[in-house]
Chains A and B, each alone.
Chain A
């Protein structure tokens, strides 16, 4: 049989979820869902693993902290220690209170930017990238479920379409690959 993509178009996110549940019940694998806003409770249904971006953020933050410590130590204590208003530039620790604000700011700086950069990378979004949502309405008021027949050897395309229709898809589009 031919490779084809089936788009189930919904106008209500809750309807979509129930329909998705029904499909999963029949062991249909859902490739993706395009929606104008995040649909809560969808991810487990269509089997999306929780992202680990927050862990990344933590490590970026740690990197910032250590960079700040290293920088202040090198510049103020090691490379050219100076008598600044009698402040103790003998050891980093003695002078540390003065370095707290900068350390904090650098931590946040690295964490935030590091995380957002990796967010853009993993999402593959960047200026000039072409959008690949199947239907422009999916960023307005439509919720579109993408199912590919290649993922579902066992269930027939017609089967899937009928399930979609029964579970409230307001229109169904098919595309030959």
Chain B
């Protein structure tokens, strides 16, 4: 828009005085005395001649350039008074708890110089027991997200808290007086004290009602239990007690209720050893190849609409009852599953992730028949992490549209983004007189609110949590709020007229509610300090919140147990399932959460964006997953790679349309596509904005329940090309012995099954048997011995589920730069450890042999993953193998990489000149080269380039410069720290006292690290395990990292 303002040269122009008009055209108001000046004969004999001029010029130029040369001074300001607990260079650890409205984790935060740099699981916590998810690991970076608000906002402008509070209070009072409706829209609240605060708020403003909203709702589970067990509850599941696990469309290892816990239980049941040769059997019936499905022993791929039918027919088969059902595509497979199930009565567990009460009722019925309740399902300990009420949210929206909501406080959720009808919510929001968001970012919803009262990050906040019956945790701030933010708790209290701060309020609550009922410890302060130190408190009995003396009852999230009869009518349920299955038409769409990003709360976190999806290995995008065969039929490109462009397609349901690249996903049935939520953000921040499309918009609703499996979609032909970035573009093992695998049956017979010794024929008499020798035995020279420590690592492929939290943990620990989508596309990701994912192919040596396929053809076919149910998936974490005869070391011309006296393959960054010879010569391709100066190149505007983001860097680890090679160091800084602390106690480091970052993050304890020279160390035991093998041992690199064979619980087959 052109500027229409007019400025006057002066009052004269305004008044248009005659002399102004005369001189108007002249450049200068009056004549300049140029002639006079030049005519001045004195000028001739002035003594400033050319030489002087040049002198002056020269001087000034020199001066200027000298001034320009000055280097910026960087000051390091020491502590004036050193805080008692802080010793520069020594880390402090604080227990806290993580809650993002969906996942709970009790965590331990590592701080350096009062700066949190790492979040790990709290080993004392019986739920997570030290494990953590990628999101928990990444949460520390979200603290330093420069997009977080520094100040409260009113009508889009920054404001002071006082003004905000005044405004809010007055408005609320006014509303309350005229009996206007006040609503609090919140994500599930598991904090007792926030509940209490909400209660106080409700007293202050009686017209308040709380609406709980889970973006990814599981309300059906609770309601199904209300029907079948007379109690709306989400029980806790015990995968470690189940010998047979049947998952129906349920990704319980990554995004279902309590992933860390369930993953741990699941894996613990499947760990094998000399003395434990039994493991659980896991069958997965699902549409999308989820991470859980990838780990299953048997997987049956079904269209989403048929999952319910499968549940019914299983129930019928088991109980002999005849609930009306319909045929599925895989009836035989399903009846086999049912047959198997029958033999596991009391030891089986069936879980279902579909938000449909009818299906959940059937599942409950199956579990009841199998006697799972009480054995593998615990109804005494109830899971509180999903309290959302889908119907209530819908109701709220209509209320708002009707204009009957006068004040709305939105806490911990982002409905404008995550509601299918987000735009509708936005318009409705504009009808609300007082709309307040407690979000710490001006996200899609917050930016539509009149007031933003930014919540503090959990690392800046006091908090407490009650994720499940009898389980209480405390959260403490580990850093002062970086901006002028404050806990939602405080805001609510403040508006309710209570000005106590969060700590005192929580302490008070705990004193009254928890300490009072726990006699064991004398003195509250002791109790408080003890709990705060441990971070948690486990109580045998539930405290009923409505017995709070000081505050009136908080609205209990789970309805109190009523004695209503179980109303489960399986026939009704069955018919509803069948009818909805029948009504399914067109292409079906599965809307799912990615392992890393989840529902997208931390979408702006570059670590999560760059973490490859465990199954597709794609980063930085969401996409339409399709069956490869179907894609070939449609003429879409199924290949991945730098210059392999995916076809963009439009997925249309009614008026909703998403335009995304199509990516091939073996194991996905034809006629089904899958799209991940968490992308398509518009106001999350520079990292997430504009990536992908928002799949929440396709979420359906039936009977008041969000449906994440929807049908009636249509898919356009290719509308364009799009380049996705995957860290792995080749998906099969090409018949190589990379991940060694066997079946339980064979393993029981011979614990070396699938791991037969690789013997090389030699003409040596002294080695091996009849001249055949293992590669390790063949040596040209005597080896170095490691006299003190010899650090080794063992990875149990049977426990690794491929979740990727180790990768994020490694990134956080070792300052691994984020390089962004385009660099990942060029296969230049910097992750020090990766998780290789291999699909099985329907072509292999045997088949080739049998069908007489030629070598060329064989290998071409081998590249193509199987698309039928024979498809199996394996995961293999690969980091530097710390070879004891390392090819990389030999070839470095300048000795920049050498072997330490403790068997570590170490990089000397400041000696490296970047010939990349080592990387070429590494058979495992684990070395990473700094192609650019990632931390100072604005093309890489991620956490390392960002002043705020830089604060997350680990001061113990160098930030590598451009042109330097880097790789896994086995967390040498942690080894050093561990050795020092042991030395202080003048003893050798105890086994397990030193943990690598990946090991610490692993929820399933798949990674073991320790000193091989310690005869009783866990890693030494792993070495002696008969499942142990070294990757590519025939190359003779003699790695210090070794793997334990993967064992699938399935009948022996001809090895593939």
Contacts and interface: CB of A to CB of B under 8 A. Distances in A.
Q: A and B: direct contact (Cβ < 8 Å)?
A: yes
Interface of A: 82-88, 90, 94
A77 to B, nearest CB: 14
Interface of A is mostly: loop
B1052 to A, nearest CB: 39
Interface string B856-895: 0000000000000000000000000001111111101001
Interface of B: 781-784, 883-890, 892, 895, 898-901, 1038
Contacts of A84: 889-890, 892, 895, 898-899
Given A83-B889, A85-B883, A86-B889, 19 more contacts: A82-B895, A83-B784, A83-B900, A84-B892, A84-B899, A85-B885, A85-B887, A85-B889, A85-B890, A85-B899, A86-B781, A86-B783, A86-B784, A86-B884, A86-B899, A86-B1038, A87-B781, A87-B890, A88-B781
B904 to A, nearest CB: 10
Contacts of A94: 781-782
Nearest to A95: B781
B992 to A, nearest CB: 27
Contacts of B887: 85
Contacts of B900: 83
A88 B782 contact: yes
A105 to B, nearest CB: 15
A95 to B, nearest CB: 9
Contacts of A83: 784, 889, 898-901
Contact of A82 (B782, B884, B886, B898): B898
A90 B889 CA distance: 17
A74 to B, nearest CB: 15
Contacts, number: 39
B843 to A, nearest CB: 37
Nearest to B781: A88
B607 to A, nearest CB: 33
Contacts of A88: 781-782
Contacts of B888: 85
20 contacts: A82-B895, A82-B898, A83-B784, A83-B898, A83-B899, A83-B900, A83-B901, A84-B889, A84-B895, A84-B899, A85-B885, A85-B888, A85-B889, A85-B899, A86-B781, A86-B886, A86-B889, A86-B1038, A88-B782, A90-B782
Contacts of A85: 883, 885-890, 899
B424 to A, nearest CB: 65
A157 to B, nearest CB: 68
Contacts of B892: 84
A2 B716 CA distance: 113
A86 B895 contact: no
**Residue of A82, A86, A87, A88 ringed by the most chain B CB atoms within 10 A:** A86
A1 B910 CA distance: 80
A87 B886 CA distance: 9
A85 B1039 CA distance: 11
A137 B1038 CA distance: 73
Nearest to A75: B895
A86 B898 contact: no
A90 B785 CA distance: 12
Nearest to B888: A85
Nearest to A76: B895
Nearest to A98: B890
A36 B899 CA distance: 62
B722 to A, nearest CB: 43
- Of A85, A90, A94, the most chain B CB neighbours within 10 A belong to A85
A107 B892 CA distance: 24
A7 to B, nearest CB: 59
A84 to B, nearest CB: 5
B926 to A, nearest CB: 15
B781 to A, nearest CB: 4
Contacts of B883: 85
A114 B892 CA distance: 31
Nearest to A90: B782
A94 B780 CA distance: 10
A97 to B, nearest CB: 9
A167 B782 CA distance: 77
Nearest first, the 7 A-B pairs at minimum CB distance are: A85-B890, A83-B899, A86-B885, A85-B889, A88-B781, A85-B886, A83-B784
B708 to A, nearest CB: 52
A87 B781 CA distance: 8
A43 B1038 CA distance: 66
A65 B958 CA distance: 42
Contacts of A82: 895, 898-899
Contacts of B782: 88, 90, 94
Contacts of A87: 781, 890
Contacts of B895: 82, 84
A145 B336 CA distance: 112
A97 B901 CA distance: 24
B961 to A, nearest CB: 23
Nearest to B779: A86
A5 B782 CA distance: 75
Nearest to A94: B781
Contacts of B886: 85-86
Nearest to A97: B780
A6 B783 CA distance: 77
Contacts of B784: 83, 86
Nearest to B783: A86
A94 B889 CA distance: 18
Contacts of B898: 82-84
A141 to B, nearest CB: 53
B112 to A, nearest CB: 32
A86 B783 CA distance: 6
A85 B892 CA distance: 10
A119 B782 CA distance: 48
A87 B901 CA distance: 14
A85 B900 CA distance: 10
Nearest to A86: B885
Nearest to A83: B899
A88 B901 CA distance: 14
Counting chain A CB atoms within 10 Å of each CB, the highest count among B783, B889, B1038 belongs to B889
A77 B217 CA distance: 67
B275 to A, nearest CB: 35
Contacts of A90: 782
A133 to B, nearest CB: 49
A158 to B, nearest CB: 72
A13 to B, nearest CB: 52
A102 to B, nearest CB: 12
Contacts of B901: 83
Residue among A82, A83, A90 with the most chain B CB within 10 A?
Answer: A83
A78 to B, nearest CB: 15
Nearest to A82: B898
A82 B892 CA distance: 13
A94 B783 CA distance: 12
A14 B743 CA distance: 93
Nearest to B921: A85
Q: Among B781, B783, B898, find the residue whose CB has the most chain A CB atoms closer than 10 A.
A: B781
A5 B281 CA distance: 112
A82 B898 CA distance: 7
A167 B888 CA distance: 74
A98 to B, nearest CB: 8
A73 B901 CA distance: 21
B712 to A, nearest CB: 61
A122 B782 CA distance: 52
A94 B901 CA distance: 20
Nearest to A80: B895
B886 to A, nearest CB: 5
A82 B897 CA distance: 10
A82 B911 CA distance: 15
Contacts of B783: 86
Contacts of B899: 82-86
B129 to A, nearest CB: 38
B310 to A, nearest CB: 55
A83 B906 CA distance: 11
A65 B787 CA distance: 36
A116 B781 CA distance: 42
